[in-house]
A and B are shown apart, each in its own frame.
Chain A
Amino acid sequence: DQQVKQNSPSLSVQEGRISILNCDYTNSMFDYFLWYKKYPAEGPTFLISISSIKDKNEDGRFTVFLNKSAKHLSLHIVPSQPGDSAVYFCAASPRWNAGNMLTFGGGTRLMVKP
C-alpha cells in the first residue's frame, strides 16, 4: 500500500516556464512533508519542507503548497532551469513519531529543455 504517491513518472518543461510536481498521500498521520532532488549516482538533496500548520512555503524559485483536506502537495519551480533536470521525490513523516522516518513517493523525472 503506497502511502505517498507521485502519479506522474516524468514531466517535460521548457526553460523559463513553471514546473509543477504533484504528490498525494493517504496517511492522515503525516504532517511534515519534504521535497528532495536526486541526480544519478548521488544521494537525494533536500529542497524544501512544509509543516501541516502551513499551506505554503517559499524558498527562492521553489514553492511548496499543501492542501490537507485533499491530502495533496505540490512543488512549483519558477522559472525552470536546465540544471533543475533531475528526479524529484516527495516524502512525508508523522509528527507523533519522535524521530526521523520518511516515507517516499516513487519520484518524478523532470526534464527542463533549453
Chain B
Amino acid sequence: KAGVTQTPRYLIKTRGQQVTLSCSPISGHRSVSWYQQTPGQGLQFLFEYFSETQRNKGNFPGRFSGRQFSNSRSEMNVSTLELGDSALYLCASSLEGQGGSYEQYFGPGTRLTVT
C-alpha cells in the first residue's frame, strides 16, 4: 500500500505571497491532519479534515486554511506569508473508527522557506 504523499517536497516563497501544499492520504484513510514543525515550537497541530469537513482546528491564525476533496486528498493554504511560517509541514492520515483516536501515518513533509 502506498504511503502518504506530499507535494511539493521543497518550496521557497517570498514574504507576502501565498502557498498551497497538497497531501494524498493512504488509500482508504478518510481523516487527514496537518502539522507544522519548527525548531522553536516543535510539532504543532494545524487542523484535521474528515469527509470534506474540518473537524478539529489548532491554534493558528486564519491565514492558515485547508480543504479536503471527495477522494480524501487534502490541500492546505497559507496566505500573506511571514518569515515565521518557514517550517516543515506534515500531513498525516488515519483510519476512522468508532470515535476516539487512531494511529496517524505521516508523509515526508513539505519544507517551506519564506524569504
Question: In the complex the two chains form, is B101's CB within 8 Å of A43's CB?
Answer: no
- For chain A, residues 14 to 35, give those with C-beta under 8 angstroms from any C-beta of chain B: 32, 34
* Interface check A49, CB cutoff 8 A: yes
List the A side residues contacting B104 at CB < 8 Å.
34, 46, 100, 102
Q: Which residues of A contact B43 (CB under 8 A)?
A: 44, 89, 91, 102, 104, 107
Q: Does the CB pair B108–A101 fall under 8 Å? A: no
> Given the interface contacts A99-B48, A100-B31, does A46 sit within 8 Å of B56 by beta carbon?
no
Q: Which of B4, B42, B56, B90 contacts A100 (CB 8 A)?
A: B56
- Pairwise interchain contact A104-B42, C-beta atoms closer than 8 A: yes
Taking residues whose C-beta sits less than 8 angstroms from the other chain, chain A's interface range is 20 to 34
On chain B, the residues within 8 Å of A46 by CB distance are: 103-106
Interface, chain B (partner A; CB < 8 A):
4, 31, 33, 35, 42-45, 48, 50, 55-56, 58, 90, 92, 94, 99-109, 111
